Structure 1
Amino acid sequence: MRKIIFSLLLLTSVFLSAQETGSIAGTLTDTEMNNEPLPFANVVIKGTTKGTTSDFDGLYEIANLEPGTYTVVFSFLGYETVEMPNVQVEAGKVSTINVPMATTGVALEGVTVTTVARKDSETALLLDQKKASTLETSIGAQELIRKGAGDAATAVSKVTGISKEEGSGNVYVRGLGDRFNITTLNGLPLPSNNTSKKNIDLGIFGTSIIQSIGIDKTYNAKNYGDFGGANINIISRDYTGTGFIELGAQSGGNSEALGEDQFYTTDGPNWSGFYDSSIPDNPFSNTFTTSWDRQQSGTPINSNFSLKGGDSYYLGENTKFNFFAVGSIGNNYSIRQGVNRGSPNVGNGLPNSDFDYIKYSYKTSSTLMANAGLRLGNSHAFKYNFLLLNNSEQKLENYDGILDREDDAPEGGGFIQRSTFDRTTLYIHQLLGDHKISDNLEVNWGGGYNYVLNVIPDRRQSTVLPVNPSNPDGPKSFKLVSAASENHRFYQDLEEEEISANTSVTFKFKENEDEEFDGKLTLGYNGRFKNVSFEAVQFNYQFLDINNQPEVDIRNIDAYFEENPLSSGLYQIRTFRGTSSTAGALDPQTFGGDQQINAAYLSLDYKLSPKFTLLAGIRGEQINQTIEWNTTFDNSGNDRNELDSFELLPSLALKYAVNDKQNLRFAASKTYTLPQFKERAPFLFQEEINTDSYGNPALKNSTNYNFDLRWELFPTSSEIVSLGVFGKLIENPINTFLVVSAANDLSYANTGDTATAFGAELELRMNILENEKEITDAVLEERLSIGGNISYLNTNQELDSNKVSSETGLSAAFTNTEAPLQGASDVIVNGDISYLKEFGENKNFSSTLAANYFSSRLFALGSTGRGHIVDEGYVTLDLISKLQLNKHIEIGLNLKNLLNPLIERVNENAEGELDMDNPAIPGFLEDGPVTLLSYKKGVDFSLSFSYKF
């Protein structure tokens, strides 16, 4: 019983310890009473007034101690006073001293001081990394705060070999993008919030709900086999300390948004982000109520407000209950402006479309998370997690210039305005259990229910052209618009429900001299049962009576429809299925289906010797993915497709402890990559101007073979130097490619037989300055530390246009016979330098300067004689500073993207191994590179304030 309560006390101490302070805790026992607990004894830090008394169970704790060396004095009336010198207190840790007391002197040879670290501290996570059999890297809440990472996507991008996709919360791991990664929350899978992606946008997970994030770049049998880049596991924040409430507020802005005279948004959505709109009655009569035109907004000031708190209670002698909750709401304004262009002409390098571009973006994020835990002694623990996320974005985009160099506004003067509201609501319920049946038998289980709703209600796009194409600056009208879909209103709903289950039984064997076990055998099961439902309706405005079309004010599109009702005969409204007279014209286009994955695994974690550890596993997965559709895009007569496969996935990890400070590691595994619903659905997605795409039902799995070798050195408990090399062989890699057709749409295919990736990673985390100053009641610290990582990657894949045509029926004409992998940067660098200065108890200043660089990476494969489309690399620089005034108040200043580099996407010239014999290639681009997209994000700045009760 004492051990149970003491363990809980240590956990409480861990979470109550501020990041820059530590604690001393332990148990006092009475040797005169057969080592029963000694209550009401005095425990004091010598030379100070800091102290406490032991409770009924002999437990004590002195919290919030500044790092340093102390002498602790234990006393009780009638007993010998015990003085323990040289007790080391470290930041974020609990130093444990268990002391026997007696009426006569007690020898203290058996008294040991141990240290327990915060679960979210950099030191604790580094210690876990050192001890673990796998190659998992973790980043905890302490490091997230220090580096100013506001969400999970930014946090993960600080890890070696990982870069963030611009404009989204998706990441590239070792050059492998979204389809190669898997995201889980507390070990249970998460759904996607976007039809275009396999993984949920990590940007929607604010760091206030995160305890740590584990990034496992090597595969082991307990994880799902749909893996090639990384398994990213978010651990939700827990709390087991005494009660607290904390209020937080943050305000700031973006230099680009504040630099504009006026900020504009779209009509309809409100400030909160909780908005939806249904298709009106009789839409063919143009009964829509929202405006086509932009709306003026107030001053674009970003803000965030949060409230969090937690507590824990003993419910009887052996039972403890704890809870934690956090709620927050925030908004963010930004502006992107620059150029946006279509594919260049092979002959002269001129882009087919050429726009000056500006996008106004207003985002909201609302979070509510709550969890509760119940621990029964040291044998049984239960935990429930609830998470509600609601994220939205209002986008108002203007495109001014050439729509089509051979058709619409060939001399310029065309104008497109698109207003989009995109909202995702995610509900997560999880129930987890851990049971220690005996010293060598444990049972763990978890179940989850996820529901995600993504809506795009009433997206509006208006397109006008010059009345006279040779006079681009003259009057505008709908007269020469060639396609009805250029002016439309669009409604989309995506629903995804998923039930998941994990269970495992672990048997420990071969007990050693330290009363630990050298062997651990785990048998487990994982299940995922997903249902996806997508439907969309688009109302296209087809303009008639071309000769009588009036002029249009591009800033007052509403006036055209107010002055010219449907009865004027100037236009009609139709869906892709037809006009109001067509049967079923309002039937939505749909796709959806079920995905079932049942998996069993067996793993062995065995210490072959004191230095050599083996982790071997085998996993079998049965995958069934059924997709059905009803769209106007597919005229083949097929409306159903099924993917059914069984995957047998071995994995091996070896660890050799060279000494107490060095490890050598090796890992190898086989995994697969599963096509996603969108990639297999024959539905035309028009999510961005100049970027239309549709799915390919003929897609099949890729197979991945993964290898890793790494050396690690841990000079101290808070420092690391590591060097690793890795390799991957991918069979039947999946890529996005340009279909050879008049529409120039994108699709997906197994574009070749094999792809390879080889690379090296170097990580360094060191303290370069450590000073301590002893004052009356504390030891003050001054510390300067640096951290950084660099990765080099070389990738290559075979491209086979004939393979695509024969397996899918789609026409491909790859410019090259070989290419890098999509999203692969040759070089990725992260670095930070941090400074901490303590002025007194609960008074300190900390500041971190963090930088990130990635070299250019492939966005899309080169096609029809054009070179690859490439995102150019750039450097970001952030400064994060915090000042703690006392134990209640903290203020912070964040400056993000200080260098404000140009973000640029280019179409390169045709270079390298060219496909000279493909008749579908008319020639090769030599007049590039051509800039397809460019803008600056601006500098983000914010001032934060928090008060803890």
Structure 2
Amino acid sequence: MKYFLMIFTLACTMQVVAQQTTGSIVGKLTDKELNDEPLAFANVLIKGTTMGTTSDFDGLYEIPSVEPGIYTLTYSYLGYETVEIPNVEVIAGKVTSVNVPMSASSGLALDEVVVTTVARKDSEIALLLDQKRAITLETSIGAQELARKGASDAATAVTKVTGISREEGSNNVYVRGLGDRFNITTLNGLPLPSNNTAKKNIDLSLFGTSIIESIGIDKTYNAQNYGDFGGANINIVSRNYTGSGFMELGVGSGVNTEAIGVDDFYLFDGPNFTGFYDKSIPSGAFNNSFDTSWDRESKSTPINSNISLKGGDSFNIGENSKLSFFAVGSFSNGNSYREGVNRGAPNLGTGLPNSDFDYQKYSYKTATTLMGNVGLRLGSAHDIRYNYLLLNNTEQKHEEFNGILDREDDAPNGGGFIQRNTFEKTLLAVNQLLGSHDVSEKFEVNWGLGYNYVQNLIPDRRQNILLPYSNNDPEGPKSFRLVSAASANHRFFQELQEEEVSANLSTSFKFKKNEEDGFDGKLTVGYNGRLKNVAFDATQFNYQILNVANQPFVDPYNIDAYFDEYGPNSGFWQIRTFRGTASTEGALDPQTYGGEQQIHAGYLTLEYKFSPKFTLFAGARGEQITQNIDWSTVIQGDDSSELDTFEFLPSLAFKYELNEKQNLRFAASKTYTLPQFKERAPFLFQEEINQDTQGNPALQNSTNYNFDLRWELFPSSSELVSFAVFGKYIENPINTFLIVSAANNLSYANTGDHATAFGAELEVKLDVIENERETAESILTDRLSIGGNVSYLNTNQELDYQKVSDETMFAAAFTNTKAPLQGASDFIFNLDASYYTEFSENRNLRSTVAANYFSDRIYALGSTGRGHLVDKGFVTLDWITAVELGDHFGIGLNMRNLLNPTIERINENAKGDLDTENPAIPGFLTDGPVTALSYKKGVDFSLSLTYKF
């Protein structure tokens, strides 16, 4: 013990001596972008040395034990101008204090401040700090994290967030088990239109990460957002630039193992390499004057490629103003191939599927992006920005089905053949003008105007169905002889156009100034408006087979030969639309639906800090919603429908700071879910083989009640531990269901009185290893970080076939009286581990392994005695590596879906709370489960190179 006391005394003596012979530098960093709040986690370095530190949560920093002398201090923070302050004198035994306000523009009017560099505020550290400060429960993922985890688009990015999954085979995103209809997507706070008639939200995969600064996912509602909300508000923040001029060129190439592994890769005649393709209906359509082939075509080796060019610059205007711009242009393409089984509903007695195919799908996708923005910052009070975005995304797919079309009718013993060639193009143009103004110390005004235009085209979709000449000879020759449906062979043209004008306006008043020159209270009054016009039309030319007895044999891979030899006057077939043949008046009139939707909303919010630890955020919103729709279809003729409702939407949230590193948050709100145009339009959509969908004009709003409770711990500037519980109660929920009819089409209805969702979420981000290595020129870092999140969800809803019958013109036969929500997985896991090492000041390597798992989830509710259609859970594993080789060169290597699991959808046996009283249910499936869909996606390899000028 005495030796310990001697050592302790000696250490204290040496420390006192050191303090007398050295000095220290202290100070406080403040954020001019956020009303001079403390700026945490900024870097402070003594230039030319290895000494430095970072500011804490209160913006305070200290560099102790500095030898006396005159130094230059460097202050840097992502998104802010790096500041150098020379001639800072350190005196032995004294403390030198340097307080620095930092800004994203050169707002420090001091001769000794020198602007040297700048970076965007999109780092994981900066976004974690924003999350800590915020009152609401928004989670953000920034460009830095997107690159680290290899997310190539916004759809992939959001699946890295706790409780979010993505439907395989589509871009439908589920947030806490709630799908497309419950979410809302915005760009810089202004709403975005959908690119698909079947969806409420735009396909997030259209947004490549090259144009994204960050993505905010707000799973709780506040009155400043639109009330058509149940799962999340996903806000994409477009990339801006405020630094010195730069230009960067990127190129890349890659392959998919399934696509590259086929002997021949097939597509079809018409679309080009770039995806800028359009095809209108020819004038002589009834005489088969189409100039595109029915048949597949062998394409070159399916190699994926991409190229991009981006750049930006900023200019000082006078002493306190800045003009900046950023632009990016990119093109990418990708090939994929799927091979497996595709089966229809199983027979209740035998368990055998009604249709049973071997399935092949060849796909070629393109994505073209042009984005530009111009920003004008006038002093520190006024910021005006214009954003323009143009996206052109396409998919060209050739699909083949071989097998049984109908076990009791078409090709019952096999030998049936279906070929479908589809090209789909989405063109989106977004214009936004945004402004923020600090009118005075207490008043601020924010506004935004947006104009969006979207065009979705399916030009000249082609489908052929051939059956065995004799059902008893499934391997024999094929023909059109036994094809009975007029629509089996067709050409289809579709166009959707949507225009939307949106506006945001808010003014805030700050009150009750505190001792730190901030304000404890903030009152905001605002208006949001959305005015949308939708126009949809579609025409299908059906090749109705005639003269069945004398039909010749047909080669499935040379269908052109049949139509060339046997023309429109041969008597073997005729062309008709759904309205009739060429002799029918108005036969070329397309089926249409359209209308307008207007939402006008006013809101009031109050943010008040009752104490340094407790902050309240309360709000109320009123929305007037009008949705008028008219249609001209063969199902219900010419008619219209109107939905007119007013919604009052209160919200409440609070944050309690347990200490400087821990928060406790709570939120509760009321919202609604609005039916979409397609869901209310009585038009027959034939989007999938053997699966048609039609709208329901009687569809009504759902009402949602939401609550969240979350605890957060921020161990350091880059670490997070959080745990949350949440619940939702949904009145009058909307579901897709199977209509009881001979056609077995799908439709939409308010299928029960209520649904519930309860769950818990855990998220962890930790730095496992962080070492610093000192060299003669700089300090180099080695870091190993891990992250992960897991969510558990329990959902339940009532299913009432009588309610559907009473409120609509349809009949339903739900197998169960209670069921989980469609798309809801009980468990979702995301795990990642990243290693970062620096070889020199501008040479480094970052490598990340990321894994994702979701448990089984319902794709479609069980009907007519069959169990639910369920997507089986699987694990995906990605490896992403990026190397910087100096100031100019970078290399990236990505390997996605390394495990290449089998993707499987099954039709379960009937189980659970069965509806034994519905007379439309003849029995229950007990011979399952039956595999409905199965294939592998393949492993994607890609290599990219970047050069920065």
* TM-score, length-scaled by structure 1: 0.91
After superposing the two structures, state which structure 1 stretch, 585-594 or 110-119, moved more: 110-119
C-alpha contact 1:875 1:901 (8 A) present in aligned 2: yes
Alpha-carbon deviation of 1:91?
Answer: 8.3
C-alpha contact 2:709 2:724 (8 A) present in aligned 1: yes
Distance (whole Å) between structure 1 residues aligned to residue 66 and residue 445 of structure 2: 40
* Other-structure match for 1:888: 888
**How many residues align structurally?**
895
C-alpha contact 2:71 2:88 (8 A) present in aligned 1: no
The letter for the 1-side match of 2:785 is S
C-alpha contact 1:477 1:551 (8 A) present in aligned 2: yes
Q: 2:194 aligns with which of 192, 195, 205?
A: 192
After superposing the two structures, state which structure 1 stretch, 101-110 or 301-310, moved more: 101-110
Alpha-carbon deviation of 1:72?
Answer: 9.9
Equivalent residue runs for 1:237-316 within 5 Å: 237-316=239-318
Please state if 1:82 is matched with 2:82: no
Alpha-carbon deviation of 1:96?
Answer: 5.6
* Other-structure match for 2:670: 670
Please state if 1:696 is matched with 2:696: yes
The letter for the 1-side match of 2:556 is I
Please state if 1:367 is matched with 2:369: yes
Q: 1:594 aligns with which of 593, 596, 607?
A: 596
Q: Secondary structure at the match of 2:439?
A: strand
Please state if 1:437 is matched with 2:439: yes
The unaligned stretches of length 5 or more in structure 1 are 15-20, 26-42, 51-67, 74-79
The CA deviation string for residues 222-262 of structure 1, in whole angstroms up to 9 with x for no partner, is 00000000000000000000000000011000000000011
Distance (whole Å) between structure 2 residues aligned to residue 47 and residue 495 of structure 1: 60
Q: 2:48 aligns with which of 27, 45, 50?
A: 45
Q: Secondary structure at the match of 2:581?
A: coil
Alpha-carbon deviation of 1:45?
Answer: 2.0
The 3 A distance-change label for structure 1 pair 753 and 44 is: closer
Distance (whole Å) between structure 1 residues aligned to residue 913 and residue 599 of structure 2: 40
Distance (whole Å) between structure 1 residues aligned to residue 455 and residue 371 of structure 2: 18
The 3 A distance-change label for structure 1 pair 243 and 804 is: same
C-alpha contact 2:822 2:861 (8 A) present in aligned 1: yes
The letter for the 1-side match of 2:586 is G
Distance (whole Å) between structure 1 residues aligned to residue 163 and residue 236 of structure 2: 18
Distance (whole Å) between structure 1 residues aligned to residue 757 and residue 614 of structure 2: 28
Alpha-carbon deviation of 1:319?
Answer: 2.2
Distance (whole Å) between structure 2 residues aligned to residue 171 and residue 789 of structure 1: 17
The root-mean-square deviation of aligned C-alpha atoms, in Å, is 2.6
* Other-structure match for 1:477: 479
C-alpha contact 1:71 1:83 (8 A) present in aligned 2: no
C-alpha contact 1:240 1:312 (8 A) present in aligned 2: yes
The 3 A distance-change label for structure 1 pair 390 and 438 is: same
Distance (whole Å) between structure 2 residues aligned to residue 795 and residue 315 of structure 1: 57
C-alpha contact 1:844 1:883 (8 A) present in aligned 2: yes
Q: Secondary structure at the match of 1:652?
A: strand
The CA deviation string for residues 265-289 of structure 1, in whole angstroms up to 9 with x for no partner, is 1110000000000000121000000
Equivalent residue runs for 1:778-857 within 5 Å: 778-857=778-857
The 3 A distance-change label for structure 1 pair 627 and 313 is: same
The CA deviation string for residues 612-662 of structure 1, in whole angstroms up to 9 with x for no partner, is 000000000000000000000225xx6100000000000000110000011
C-alpha contact 1:95 1:114 (8 A) present in aligned 2: no
Distance (whole Å) between structure 1 residues aligned to residue 87 and residue 641 of structure 2: 71
Equivalent residue runs for 1:17-36 within 5 Å: none
The 3 A distance-change label for structure 1 pair 677 and 106 is: farther
C-alpha contact 1:45 1:72 (8 A) present in aligned 2: no
The CA deviation string for residues 475-511 of structure 1, in whole angstroms up to 9 with x for no partner, is 0000000101000000000000000000100101111
* Other-structure match for 1:647: 647
* Other-structure match for 2:514: 512
The CA deviation string for residues 756-788 of structure 1, in whole angstroms up to 9 with x for no partner, is 000000000001111111000100110101000
Q: Secondary structure at the match of 1:560?
A: helix
Equivalent residue runs for 1:49-60 within 5 Å: none
The unaligned stretches of length 5 or more in structure 2 are 1-27, 53-61, 104-118
Q: Secondary structure at the match of 2:823?
A: coil
The 3 A distance-change label for structure 1 pair 118 and 320 is: closer
Distance (whole Å) between structure 1 residues aligned to residue 65 and residue 311 of structure 2: 34
Equivalent residue runs for 1:729-768 within 5 Å: 729-768=729-768
* Other-structure match for 2:113: none
* Other-structure match for 1:227: 229
Alpha-carbon deviation of 1:690?
Answer: 2.4
The letter for the 1-side match of 2:806 is S
C-alpha contact 2:426 2:456 (8 A) present in aligned 1: yes
Q: 1:110 aligns with which of 97, 103, 108?
A: 97
Alpha-carbon deviation of 1:111?
Answer: 1.3
C-alpha contact 1:847 1:881 (8 A) present in aligned 2: yes
Please state if 1:549 is matched with 2:536: no
Distance (whole Å) between structure 1 residues aligned to residue 90 and residue 605 of structure 2: 53
The 3 A distance-change label for structure 1 pair 102 and 794 is: closer
Please state if 1:449 is matched with 2:451: yes
C-alpha contact 2:341 2:358 (8 A) present in aligned 1: yes
After superposing the two structures, state which structure 1 stretch, 697-706 or 310-319, moved more: 310-319
The letter for the 2-side match of 1:667 is A
* Other-structure match for 1:388: 390
Alpha-carbon deviation of 1:103?
Answer: 14
The CA deviation string for residues 9-55 of structure 1, in whole angstroms up to 9 with x for no partner, is x99xx9xxxxxx99769xxxxxxxxxxxxxxxxx952489x9xxxxx
Q: 1:526 aligns with which of 515, 525, 528?
A: 528
C-alpha contact 1:23 1:95 (8 A) present in aligned 2: no
C-alpha contact 1:69 1:88 (8 A) present in aligned 2: no
The CA deviation string for residues 391-439 of structure 1, in whole angstroms up to 9 with x for no partner, is 0000100000011111110111000000000000000000000000001
Alpha-carbon deviation of 1:97?
Answer: 6.6
The 3 A distance-change label for structure 1 pair 71 and 840 is: farther
* Other-structure match for 1:183: 185
* Other-structure match for 1:577: 579
The CA deviation string for residues 167-217 of structure 1, in whole angstroms up to 9 with x for no partner, is 222210000000000000000000000001000000010000000000000
C-alpha contact 1:97 1:112 (8 A) present in aligned 2: no
The CA deviation string for residues 336-386 of structure 1, in whole angstroms up to 9 with x for no partner, is 110111111111111111110000000000000000000111111100000
Q: Secondary structure at the match of 2:130?
A: helix
Q: Secondary structure at the match of 1:155?
A: helix
Distance (whole Å) between structure 1 residues aligned to residue 568 and residue 66 of structure 2: 87
The CA deviation string for residues 435-477 of structure 1, in whole angstroms up to 9 with x for no partner, is 0000110000000000000000000001100000011000000
Distance (whole Å) between structure 2 residues aligned to residue 500 and residue 388 of structure 1: 18
C-alpha contact 2:32 2:101 (8 A) present in aligned 1: no
After superposing the two structures, state which structure 1 stretch, 315-324 or 391-400, moved more: 315-324
* Other-structure match for 1:924: 924
Equivalent residue runs for 1:395-434 within 5 Å: 395-434=397-436
The letter for the 1-side match of 2:877 is L
Alpha-carbon deviation of 1:7?
Answer: 6.2
The letter for the 2-side match of 1:374 is L
Q: Secondary structure at the match of 1:559?
A: helix
Please state if 1:333 is matched with 2:321: no
Distance (whole Å) between structure 1 residues aligned to residue 804 and residue 855 of structure 2: 30
C-alpha contact 2:494 2:539 (8 A) present in aligned 1: yes
C-alpha contact 1:390 1:424 (8 A) present in aligned 2: yes
Q: Secondary structure at the match of 2:597?
A: strand
Distance (whole Å) between structure 2 residues aligned to residue 807 and residue 732 of structure 1: 12
Equivalent residue runs for 1:676-687 within 5 Å: 676-687=676-687
Distance (whole Å) between structure 1 residues aligned to residue 904 and residue 249 of structure 2: 40
* Other-structure match for 2:23: none
Distance (whole Å) between structure 2 residues aligned to residue 533 and residue 376 of structure 1: 41
Please state if 1:537 is matched with 2:555: no
* Other-structure match for 1:31: none
Equivalent residue runs for 1:129-144 within 5 Å: 129-144=131-146
The CA deviation string for residues 76-96 of structure 1, in whole angstroms up to 9 with x for no partner, is xxxx963378x8978888776
C-alpha contact 2:31 2:101 (8 A) present in aligned 1: no
